[in-house]
Amino acid sequence: MSAGGAGGEATGGIPQNKLIALGTLGGLAGAYGGHFLSVASPAFAFIGALGAICAIVWGGAAVRRVASYGLGTGVPSIGMMALGMGVVASMFGLAVGGIAGPIVAFITAAIIGLVIGVLANKVLGMGIPIMEQSMTEIAGAGALTIIGLSVAMTGTFMFDAVLETVVATGYIAVIFIAGGMAILHPFNANLGPDEKQDRTLMTGVEKGAITMVVAGIVATVADGASAIPSILIGVIIWYIAFSKYVKLVNRDAYKVLGTGLLPTEEELE
């Protein structure tokens, strides 16, 4: 039943390797850029959230690829799992890694993802050809999303500051759910046989921008990060992405009607 995806490999659009490069390099550059430039001025903390958006788009693309094998109701689960693996890996990485924290977290996430992917295919017998690679990608994207948003909230990825401002205050909960939804929602919202990659990824940018705004709101109570740049840039990115998304929907839909009756029998034939 194609209600849960086309049942085969997702096709079209930007090749996955380019998106992997965007997510990994963008995510790490965002985390490090936000961290080092925030020392000069807290206003630069928003760069962390830009990195998170790159990671979210990558994660959304990876979910799209693996969920196209008919994973209908499993799409939300896989998004939550991405951030579940990401939280474990990023806390571990930041705790032991010091300045190499994001890289350690990223590698840890990739290993956890690979193990879960192998378990899913070999032990549970899900038999999805790209499962191992996709779980590795999703876990990595989840970890980079968490680190990027933490940098936007605190201005640093040093474990003590993140623990104090993000974890102890409970804001990690909003990172978890807003980041996870941003990764799972793009494919879930556009699920169907006529899904297009550019529309799905544009939803990812739009949802990523919302997480950026939320991170900016949290930054108002943090010393190392300024709120205004994150909120302002987040709202601008959201507006642009949302307008583009609506354009793409108008391009792809069968009809966009102000109002009207159902299609007639002849029309459906």
Q: Name the site residues for another protein (rule: CB under 8 A).
A: 1-3, 72-73, 75-76, 79-80, 168-174, 176-178, 180-181, 184-185, 188-196, 199-200, 203, 206-207, 210, 214, 217-218, 220-221, 238, 242, 245-246, 248-249, 252-263, 267-268
Residue tagged 């996870």 (tokens):
180
Query: Which is closer to another protein, CB of 61 or CB of 248?
Result: 248
Shortest Cβ distance from residue 90 to another protein (Å)?
A: 17
Neighbours of 224 (CB within 10 A): 18
Shortest Cβ distance from residue 76 to another protein (Å)?
A: 4
Shortest Cβ distance from residue 97 to another protein (Å)?
A: 25
Q: How far apart are CA 234 and CA 134, in angstroms?
A: 28
Shortest Cβ distance from residue 234 to another protein (Å)?
A: 12
Structure tokens at 141: 């994207």
Cα distances (angstroms) measured from residue 173 to each of 21, 92, 145, 215, 258: 28, 17, 13, 12, 39
Choose among 69, 68, 52: nearest CA to 204.
Answer: 52
Query: Which is closer to another protein, CB of 28 or CB of 57?
Result: 57
Q: How far apart are CA 81 and CA 90, in angstroms?
A: 14
Query: Which is closer to another protein, CB of 28 or CB of 166?
Result: 166
Shortest Cβ distance from residue 212 to another protein (Å)?
A: 12
Cα distances (angstroms) measured from residue 15 to each of 10, 65, 248: 11, 11, 19
Query: Which is closer to another protein, CB of 4 or CB of 95?
Result: 4
Cα distances (angstroms) measured from residue 104 to each of 3, 32, 42, 160, 171: 39, 13, 25, 16, 23
Shortest Cβ distance from residue 36 to another protein (Å)?
A: 26
Q: How far apart are CA 206 and CA 146, in angstroms?
A: 17
Query: Which is closer to another protein, CB of 99 or CB of 253?
Result: 253
Shortest Cβ distance from residue 246 to another protein (Å)?
A: 7
Query: Which is closer to another protein, CB of 20 or CB of 172?
Result: 172
Query: Which is closer to another protein, CB of 95 or CB of 242?
Result: 242
Structure tokens at 82: 């991405």
DSSP 220-233: TT-SSS-HHHHHHH
Query: Which is closer to another protein, CB of 34 or CB of 79?
Result: 79
Structure tokens at 42: 């807290």
Residue tagged 């990172």 (tokens):
175
Shortest Cβ distance from residue 171 to another protein (Å)?
A: 6
